[in-house]
Amino acid sequence: MSTTEPNQPKRALSLGVIFLTLYIDLVGFSIIFPLGPDLLKHYLAVDGQAGLLGWFLGHINAVASHLGNETHLPEVLFGGVISSLFSILQFIFAPFWGTLSDKRGRRPILLLTVAGTALSYLLWVVSGSFWLFLVARLVAGAFGGNLSVATAAVADVTTRAERSKAMGIVGAAFGLGLVTGPMIGAFTAHINLLEIFPRAGLAAWGINPFSVPALLSLAMSVVNLVWIYRRFNETRPPEMRIVPVETRLRNPLRAILNLSDARIRGVNLVAFVYSIAFVAMEASLVFLSAERFGYTAKQNGLLMGFLGVCSIITQGYIVRKMLVSTPETRVLGMGLVASCIGLLLIGFAPAPAWLYAGVGLLALGSGLVNPSTSGLISLYAGANEQGRVLGIFRSLGSLSRAITPITAGIVFWTLGAKAVFIGAAVLAAGAWIAGTRLPQPEK
């Protein structure tokens, strides 16, 4: 597999278009984070203990009882399963959309997937029953695999020397999306159209107490769709699309294992292990702060906002400056070490100041890890397979988000907060060991 690419300027395209696509996708993923308990109560009131929800909740309660925790664990498991279903669909579809964009071009696939995302939000607006809400999340997950397409477009419009710096915009979109998504969900969840317009008969149309956050997400997706249609210039010219790739849906794990380049497999391993550690922190941080320091929802919102702001600054500015003169492999190593220390500080924090210090150090670490791993993946891959390889890379990130929230929740409520963060730090250290074997690519 050749990794040589002409090192000349690429076609001009505003990275703002790509940034917005990534940002909206992450908002859609994370807007539901603070709504889990309220969603469970609402659909229990609507559907009762019968049907799909009753079956679903029955199994969750059985697991919680078996694990010896019937207080918070059912809600944690419910939210974890809903998030996992979304991520599993991303895991399946990310390589598919990425490969299809190699063959058909980035612009049409982005238009298709953003339209599909808008459809999922429309379904959520009218999700008067749990089964329709579940369908909406599955549709969102399937079309949310467009992260790989947007990331491949970044590779298309940058030279090899600028590749990793430009990938910082991907990380910044992640950070901003994971900050604003939960904030939108939290602040709009209390705006109930059924109460504001009690005589309008909105319930007959499926309008529910969570239709407002869904409507906002729908509006953002429509704006994104129009902007891509008007402003996105195709980044993959026709002569580059003649590639012998298979676009049928296949087993994503087999696609990962069949990667021929050992360097790409190595980066995927590092990124996957690190992602498990980071997602475990995401799933547990607010529970730790509430249990240890009595944090309210508002204080937890400020804490998560601090994490997001630090991450955005790191990935949008600091890492871009560092990568001018520092190799990606060294930046990666620094980020993994910082993350390991940050996770331990959080896990053993005796006071809020230590908690914030750990969160800030972890945000710095993740801000160095994410652009360097995506940059290395793109630099190791050939010019004709950016979508496919980055699709597999994003697919693994979705897999970590599918399996980790539930696992971290179980560990937290059965073994305690320290067990979660010690385990996450061990994973980050393991990723650092694996990362030391990665060669620096030529530019």
Query: Would you place residue 437 in the very low, low, confident or very high pLDDT band (cuts 50, 70, 90)?
Result: very high
Confidence class of residue 6 from pLDDT cuts 50, 70 and 90? very low
Structure tokens at 146: 């467009």
Within 1-35, residue ranges assigned H as helices are 15-30
- 151-160, 303-312, 331-340: range with highest mean pLDDT: 331-340
Question: Could you give the count of Cα atoms lying within 13 Å of 289 in the half-sphere of its Cβ?
Answer: 24
DSSP-based three-state secondary structure for 108: helix
Q: Is the separation of the CB atoms in 80 and 406 below 8 Å?
A: yes
Q: Considering the domain boundaries, does residue 124 fall inside one?
A: yes
Please report the pLDDT score of residue 1 as a whole number. 42
Q: What does the pLDDT average to over 311-328?
A: 87
* Each residue's pLDDT tens digit, 183-194: 788 788 788 898
In a domain, 443, yes or no: no
**For 125-178, how does the pLDDT look when each residue is reduced to its tens digit (9 = 90+)?**
999 888 899 899 899 988 887 778 888 888 888 888 888 888 887 778 877 887
Domain assignment of residue 136, yes or no: yes
**Mean pLDDT lowest among 51-65, 82-96, 145-159:** 51-65
- Domain limits for position 324: 15-237+252-435
Split at pLDDT 50, 70, 90, the class of 64 is low
Average pLDDT over residues 390-412: 85
Q: Are 332 and 373 in contact (CB under 8 A)?
A: yes
Give domain status of residue 442, yes or no.
no
Calculate the average pLDDT of the chain. 83
Cα–Cα distance between 112 and 97 in angstroms, integer?
10
pLDDT at 327: 92
Distance from chain centroid for Cα 324: 27
- Does 159 reside within a domain? yes
Cα separation, 222 vs 120, in Å, equals 12
Per mean pLDDT, which of 295-299, 313-317, 346-350 is the most reliable?
A: 346-350
Select, from the ranges 91-95, 99-103, 199-203, 426-430, the one with the highest average predicted confidence (pLDDT).
426-430
pLDDT of 420 > 90? The answer is yes
Q: Residue 259 sits in a domain of what CATH number?
A: 1.20.1250.20
| Alpha-carbon distances of 298 from 183, 184, 187, 312, rounded to whole Å | 10, 13, 11, 21
Looking at residue 224, what is its pLDDT?
A: 86
Examine residue 345 and state whether it is found in any structural domain, yes or no: yes
The sign one gets for the Cα dihedral 307, 164, 101, 380 is: negative
Q: Rounded to whole angstroms, how far apart are CA atoms 191 and 199? A: 16
Q: Is residue 9 part of a domain?
A: no
Find the range with the poorest average confidence among 11-15, 55-59, 62-66: 11-15
Q: How many CB atoms lie within 10 A of CB 349?
A: 21
Q: Please give the model's pTM, rounded to 2 decimal places.
A: 0.78
In a domain, residue 321? The reply is yes
Which region among 77-81, 110-114, 264-268 has the lowest average model confidence (pLDDT)? 77-81
Which residues, including other chains, have CB under 8 Å from residue 394's CB and lie 6 or more apart? 90, 94, 98, 145, 147, 148, 151
CB contact at 8 A, 375 and 399:
no
Domain count across the chain:
1
Cβ atoms 38, 260 nearer than 8 A: no
Asked if pLDDT for residue 8 goes beyond 50, the answer is: no
